Amino acid sequence: MDDTVTDGEVRRRVENFLGGRPIPAPGDEDGRLTFLRARFDAGLAWVHHPVGLGGLAGPRELQPLVDALFAAAGAPDNTPRRIGIGLGMAAPTILRHGTAAQRERFLRPLWTGEQIWCQLFSEPGAGSDLAAVATRAVRDGDGWLVGGQKVWTSMAHRARWGILLARTDPDVPKHRGMTYFVCDMHAPGVEVRPLRQLTGEAEFNEVFLTEVRLGDELRLGEVGQGWAVAQTTLMNERVAIGGAPVPREGGLVGILADAWREHPELRTPALHDELLRLWVRAEAARLTGVRLRQQLAAGQPGPEGSAVKLSFATLAQQLSSLEVELLGEAGLRHDSWEFSRPDVVDFTGRGATYRYLRARGNSIEGGTSEILRNIIAERVLGLPAEPRVDLDLAWKDLPR
């Protein structure tokens, strides 16, 4: 880390950057993209990244300052909700495990939003047990042929690239026979089919991979080390989902508090007590997220991210349930059941019923709540591990 990158230095760099170019007008997509590319090249995208890869090798805690300075100037952002999988999962994995060529190739268009990413991990027979993935990648000359099926793939219908976990050696135990790839979502043999959800839309997808050829330059990490690479993705994913920065009384608890203030006729003592209980829990979770990001600034995220994500999922479901209850009949009117394939998951811009229905998925995505409780018990609290009889068996010999 470069100790010369201080608060004052960052302010100076942002001021010089903004003074040297006009801010593009709203709707000017070419100007917006040019601006974002220049910001990346100036090291003002990810302050903590190395020089030349969007950063200044400075402390991570200066990133909110950079973002706030650009926002105050009216500068365009990279629409982070639209590219959350790339920012929160693919980027930290590529930075840690990728080659110099892979970092150079992928990080800039990922951050600017030119290329959307998806995650090709879960499978119909390997959801909670990610190490049981059956999608195969077989050597074929100087590349690989990939075949299998992935499921619950958010934003696959918009994605240019996917982070893919595939089995390359079925003759060793399940955790040791996987390899991590970057999958070209436009390659022949990649088929994306929508999965319609409770909300009526298809944010999720299933992806079928039929003899998809990937060059070896798209392999991330060593052959057989996919589980270790995937851990970087998963730990960052849980922080990205559950530990995102929010202001006090922000997010769902803010929406619920506004509904309470706007509808005094719907209040009851019982609802008042429940609102206060959830408000306190939401504030505790927010402050815990602040601490977690401080730890993240000092290194890689650890298993504590599982606790934050678990808390986020539970709170989202409880808050959205209370909002529907508070609003009475109005809370049951879903804004639209029409089939659509969205660009973003928008909790704050939709109605109460959408939030209630969509929050059901929070306890599944990013690791099921049951699996996260196991991680917390074993890796945070140090409790005895659950008995596992398959750790030393070759994957091909596991019952399925």
By CB atoms closer than 10 A (0-12, 13-18, 19+), residue 287 is exposed
Query: Using CA atoms, how far apart are residues 184 and 144, in angstroms rounded to an integer?
Result: 12
Residue pair 156/110 in contact (Cβ under 8 Å)? The answer is no
Assigned token pair, 101: 């060529």
Is 378 one of the annotated active-site residues of the chain? no
Strand partners, 119: 163
Helix (H) or strand (E) holding 286: helix 269-297
Catalytic annotation, pick one of 123, 203, 206, 237: 237
Assigned token pair, 290: 């602040």
3-state helix, strand, coil in the chain (%, to 5): 45, 15, 40
Calculate the alpha carbon distances from 45 to 57, 67, 70, 376 in Å.
11, 9, 11, 33
Query: Using CA atoms, how far apart are residues 106 and 104, in angstroms rounded to an integer?
Result: 6
Query: Using CA atoms, how far apart are residues 301 and 237, in angstroms rounded to an integer?
Result: 10
User: Closest by alpha carbon to 102, among 229, 187, 202, 238?
Assistant: 229
Residue pair 292/308 in contact (Cβ under 8 Å)? The answer is yes
Q: Which residues are identified as catalytic?
A: 237
